[in-house]
Amino acid sequence: MIGRILAVTQRELKSYFVSPVAYVVIALFLVVCGLLFGLIVLSTREASLRYLLSNISVVFLFLVPAMTMRLLAEEQGSGTMELLLTNPIRDGEIVVGKYLAAVALLIVMLVLTLYYPLMLFWLGGNPDKGPLASGYLGILLIGAAMLSIGLFASSLTRNQIIAGVLTFAILLVLWLSGSLAGNLGGPVGDAAGYLSINDHFQEFPRGVIDTKDVLYFVSIILAGLFLTYLSIQSRRWR
């Protein structure tokens, strides 16, 4: 099983880097992060990455749809999904393999940003290592959660553009639900507040790792993968 998952992951990673998608996404990510890093350091005069890590999550709102929109939508649009489903590979292995490929690309992007804390140390700064580590953990968790949502959205359509727009719409609703919670009130407001993906992330760059926040992101990841699995399963009955 692991071998088949890794085969799907390897195949998907190759398709990422054969096309311009990975290079464009990584380049845009590094350019935006570089601009934010420079502006934040100049304005705060602090040897800290807390504000940068807090803003990277906003960048994911726009980059995650580009990273995930082709994962399953392209397979369905080109007709290769039917060939993939007829291979001796389980639907769950397809889902996990493609998801791991997207997470691997995310990790590559985050590793490249380690240049910023190294620069701070090199320039004589002493950023707090605790909030730095927890901040990167938070970024990895929120990015992984968003990727699972994008994978699910990509499984719902044959059109990559529609998949990207749908991913952005879902992520935006989850991002803004915390702001809506205060206006709704009652059980509905409590539910909207709990669903806020941004509220569950905010403590990580401050050095606080709360179990309920970690469980929230893990739950989103598992829910996204399970819904994607059900979506692929439904194709067998169409």
Mean pLDDT by 10 residues, the chain (238 residues): 81 83 87 81 66 80 89 71 65 87 92 81 69 87 94 89 92 80 63 77 84 93 93 70
Q: Measure the CA dihedral 160/162/167/170, to 10°.
A: -170
Q: Evaluate whether 225 touches 156 at the Cβ level (below 8 Å).
A: no
- Spell out the residues 6+ positions from residue 206 whose beta carbon is closer than 8 angstroms to its own: 50, 131, 134
Q: Which residue intervals of the chain are DSSP H helices?
A: 2-18, 21-44, 50-68, 73-78, 80-86, 91-112, 115-122, 129-155, 160-184, 186-195, 211-235
Among candidates 92, 99, 213, which has minimal Cα distance to 148? 99
Cα distance between residue 150 and residue 26, in whole Å: 17
**C-beta atoms surrounding 4 within 10 Å:** 16
Q: What is the chain's length?
A: 238
pLDDT at position 174: 86
Q: How many domains does the chain have?
A: 1
pLDDT at position 168: 93
Burial class (CB in 10 A: 0-12, 13-18, 19+), 238: exposed
Q: 3-state class of 206 per DSSP?
A: helix
Q: How far apart are the first and last CA of the chain?
A: 26
pLDDT at position 205: 82
Domain of 68 in residue numbering reads as 2-235
- Spell out the residues 6+ positions from residue 55 whose beta carbon is closer than 8 angstroms to its own: 36, 40
pLDDT at position 183: 62
